[in-house]
Structure 1
Amino acid sequence: MKYLFTSIFLFLCWGNPPALADDDKNVFRLATGEYQPYTSEFLPHYGIDNRIISEAFGEEGIRVEFNFFPWTRALNTAKAGDVDGTLPWAKRKGREDFFHYSDPVIEVDREYFYYLKKSPFEWNPSVRNYEQLRGKTFAAIASANYGPKFQDAEANGTISVNRVQEEQQTLRMLLAGRIDIAIIKRRVAEFALNSFFSDQQVERIERRPESDDPPGYDYLLISKNAPNARYHLESFNRGLKSLRTSGRYDQLMLKFENGTFAELK
Structure 2
Amino acid sequence: MLYNQYIKKILLRRNKMSKPLIVITGASSGFGAEIAKLFNADGFPILLLGRRTDKIKALPLDFTNVLVESVDVTDKKSFEIAISKAEEKYGKTDLLVNNAGVMLLGNVLNQDPAEWKQMMDTNVLGVLNGMQIVLPQMVERQGGTVINMSSLAGKKTFTNHAAYVASKFGVHGLSETVREEVSAKNVRISLVAPGAAETELLTHVTDKSALNDYNLWKESMGGTTLASERVAQTVKFIYDMPQSVNIREIDIAATNQNA
Shorter chain as denominator, the TM-score bin is under 0.3
Identify, as 1 or 2, the structure richer in strand.
1
Q: When you count helix as a share of all residues, which structure comes out higher?
A: 2
Relative to the length of structure 2, the TM-score reads 0.27
State the TM-score, normalized to the length of structure 1.
Answer: 0.27
- Could you say which structure has the greater relative contact order, defined with CA pairs below 8 angstroms and 6 or more residues apart? 1
